[in-house]
Structure 1
Amino acid sequence: MKKLAVIAFILFIGIQSPQAQVKVSPGLRGGLNLSTLTNIDDNSSKADFYVGGLLNIKFNKYFSLQPEITYSRQGDEGREYFGNGYNYRSVNYELNYLTLGAVAKFNIGGKGFHILGGPSLDLKISDNYINSNPEGFDFAIVGGVGYTLPNGLTFEARLKQGLIDIYGYDGIDYDNNNNSYYDDVILNQVFQIGISYTFKVK
């Protein structure tokens, strides 16, 4: 019985020790969005911003998990044709989301440089579309690189790729003979450049 108690105690200490090294630090993040929509002719990227908060959960010097909540202004710059169809004006189409995400960060060699990746759920807050009604949510995959200074300031570049067509289209269309074929879907795509800061918690 005593041996079992000693073994249980050793296992308990072994489990608790790694947990004691976990550091949780809140922070803020923000930066530039260069967003567009895929598979649309005559459109271009729109410059806007993102801003939000984060919670960096550092398990060791090599790995951390970072839940995030972000206000992200997306969309693209399209064309609105009028008159004889040859005249047009540029229009900024807005798709503004509240993003709930979590990225895994891997520090190369335990130093400041890191790669990151993870999912995000985007809940649409507003849009300025007049003749259509984009979907109320999106699901995206995020990947990127960054560098964190010893003072907690981080510089990052990310690519965020939406996975759901903004009009709810599944890519399957039908011709006049009712034969199905795959057509292009319209997806959010965002390149982000920004900074974040994590506060040191004692």
Structure 2
Amino acid sequence: MKKIILIGAVALFGTMNAQTRFGLKAGGNLSSVSNLDDSKAKFGFYAGAFANIPIAGTFSIQPEVLYSGKGVGYDGAGDVKMNLDYISVPVFFQYKATPQFYLEAGPEFSFLISAKVKADGDSADFKDFINGFDLGIGLGAGYNFTSNFGANLRYVAGVTDIVKDNEGGDSARNGVFQLGVTYTFGK
């Protein structure tokens, strides 16, 4: 019985592995942080790799590993920005509505790699005041123009407070719109 289960698992993994497609993606971020006075959205970018794993007919799972630049700008005198750099690991469930168009949703696990405030050319590190882990929930859609090239739009809403030891204050949460392109290897 154990041999049959093992052979079945190997066959299933082999089938899934043969259908798995890998690719690269990159694009722009329009990010904000909730409950920060006088803040405004900031442009950044994201880039990384993904694997698209079919699980049943029109459904697939797409884990990704991305660099994602988030943060905010501030209104007022001078050019002031809070830059938050993350390694993000989204795990999205995709539904192919048509052969080219898909909808997606899922969690995004982000790990802080850098936190800096830049003001009028000067920069200060404030990583000690920002939580090292951020959880978000994302929704998106995409369109594959060919079997290799596509575009996608996604919004990820932060669930966790990014400020360490934020006692009594309103939670500060990341929010980011992403618009980008994808390249998938193979056919």
Regarding TM over 0.5, the answer is yes
Question: Identity rate of aligned residues, in percent?
Answer: 30
Per mean C-alpha deviation after superposition, the further-off stretch among 54-63 and 28-37 is 54-63
Name 1:92's counterpart in structure 2. Answer: 81
Q: Does 1:190 align with 2:179?
A: no
String of CA shifts for 1:139-178, please: whole Å, max 9, x gaps: 11111111123322121110011111111356x62xxxxx
Alignment partners' CA distance in 2, 1:45 and 1:38: 10
Q: Which runs of 4+ in 1 moved over 4 A?
A: 16-19
Query: Partner amino acid for 2:148?
Result: G
SS at match of 1:89: coil
SS at match of 1:20: helix
Alignment partners' CA distance in 1, 2:50 and 2:19: 14
String of CA shifts for 1:76-106, please: whole Å, max 9, x gaps: 10246xxxxxxx2231210000011211110
- Tell me how many residue pairs correspond in the alignment: 174
Name 1:180's counterpart in structure 2. Answer: none
Unaligned runs of 5+ in 2: 118-123
Bigger radius of gyration, 1 or 2? Answer: 1
Unaligned runs of 5+ in 1: 1-8, 81-87, 174-182
TM-score normalised over the length of structure 1: 0.76
Name 2:141's counterpart in structure 1. Answer: 145
Q: Is contact 1:46-1:77 (8 Å) kept?
A: yes
Please give the root-mean-square deviation of Cα atoms over the aligned residues, in Å. Answer: 2.7
SS at match of 2:20: strand
Q: Is contact 2:116-2:125 (8 Å) kept?
A: no
Query: Partner amino acid for 2:23?
Result: G
Alignment partners' CA distance in 1, 2:66 and 2:51: 12
Alignment partners' CA distance in 2, 1:62 and 1:36: 33
String of CA shifts for 1:22-43, please: whole Å, max 9, x gaps: 6111100000000011112211
Q: Is contact 1:56-1:198 (8 Å) kept?
A: no
Name 1:26's counterpart in structure 2. Answer: 22
Alignment partners' CA distance in 2, 1:94 and 1:33: 12
TM-score normalised over the length of structure 2: 0.81
Alignment partners' CA distance in 1, 2:125 and 2:86: 20
